[in-house]
Amino acid sequence: MKLSSYLKDRAIANGLPAMAYTDEEFWLRECETVFADNWVFVGFAHELKNLGDVLPISVAGKPILLVKNRNGNIVAFHNVCRHRCLKLVDQPKNVGKLIRCPYHAWTYDLDGNLRASPHFGGMNNHKPSGFIPSNNGLEPVRIKVWHDWIFVNLSKKAPPFEKYAATLIKQLEGVNLEKVYPVATLEFGEIFTNWKFLIENFIEPYHVQFVHKKTTSQPLKDHYTIVDGMCYGSGVNLSKEDASSGNLSVSSRYLSLFPNFIVGTYFPGQLGVYLNQPIGSGRTNQKRIIYTTDGHDLTKAEIENQKNLWWKVHKEDHEICERLQLGRASPVSIQGGLLSPHWEKSVRAFQKIVVKSVMKYSKVK
């Protein structure tokens, strides 16, 4: 079956074929399209607190560097020296006012300008004829810091972020994003599943009462799906809210912005934002930041309770997603299985965007 056939509307549609989750060639095409042409979520602004804080990340297999510059802004560069293309920074740290290459000591300021190229033209000849330092600073990457969340666009082809994310912003109109602050971090590390399974699992409600029957009280009948442009997900409205229990029993919305930004909103004023960083066809790093909004302060005990609850919920999801990955080794999964025409509308919308993106390349049509 050709990949293009997955765009055709059917009463009962197939999910993406197994190779979309297991094939390295497909992953490389995603790198060149999905993760190059769109606004990709890459980090949290509060993690770069001081001038000179740097955070090396990987986007579509490419080394990128986030930097807190001298003006207090977060900027992004390709994380390679312009001399021999060495990866400049290999771990989060504070570099002070300068970024120095460990190989030959080429040095850049926090705005990416080249400040030193020692002995490049010979002993004590730092600027040989024909060499223009201003043309050899760090290569910038298009960046947008939206509230506490950092996005980059590698190809510079994406529309302005506010236009790109307009439907998500509209969905979040009831949340005062100007006054949210982080209260806890959950570092899940490497999960042995394709990044798409983590997104798909988050945005469909069909699994909740089966997978999370011990950690949530959100009946399937109270759920609905959301498909709104580049934003898709699900929600649940409960007549009785219980934010103090040991399981999740509150009205919630589970929203995503293509390709990898996901945010959950929970009564009475909490948010969870997940960073899913694909590192290959079958591996993804994940962390979650728990936020609360102004006027909804949490005690230490409440924060600890939330951390424990969400750790359990996510571990339930991770087990399922890893088993979804394992299932793609079967010939039964070649054509992708089936999608619920009611509960998995958001998954269908997400998958269609993936297909449209990678179909730019004739090898996968």
Tell me, which fold does domain 173-350 have in CATH? Naphthalene 1,2-dioxygenase Alpha Subunit; Chain A, domain 1 (3.90.380)
Alpha helices in 160-284 (DSSP H): 161-164, 166-171, 195-203, 208-211
Distance CA 350, CA 353 (A): 5
Compare 4 and 279 and report the one with higher pLDDT. Answer: 279
Q: Where residue 281 falls among pLDDT bands split at 50, 70, 90?
A: very high
Q: Residue 360's closest CA among 31, 9, 21?
A: 31
Q: What angle do CA 354, 356, 357 make, to 5 degrees?
A: 65
Span 294-312, pLDDT tens digits: 888 889 998 998 899 899 9
**Residue extents of the structural domains in the chain:** 40-145, 173-350
Q: Which tens digit of pLDDT belongs to each residue from 4-32?
A: 888 888 889 999 999 999 999 999 999 99
pLDDT at 232 over 90: yes
Which DSSP helix (H) or strand (E) runs through 55? strand 53-59
Helix (H) or strand (E) segment spanning residue 245: none
Contact 251, 267 (CB under 8 A): yes
- When the candidates are 1.10.1240.10, 2.30.30.60, 3.90.78.10, 2.102.10.10, the CATH number that belongs to 40-145 is 2.102.10.10
How far apart are the C-alpha atoms of 200 and 74, rounded to whole Å?
A: 30
Q: What is the model's pTM?
A: 0.93
Confidence tier at 245 by pLDDT (50, 70, 90): low
Beta bridge partners of 230: none
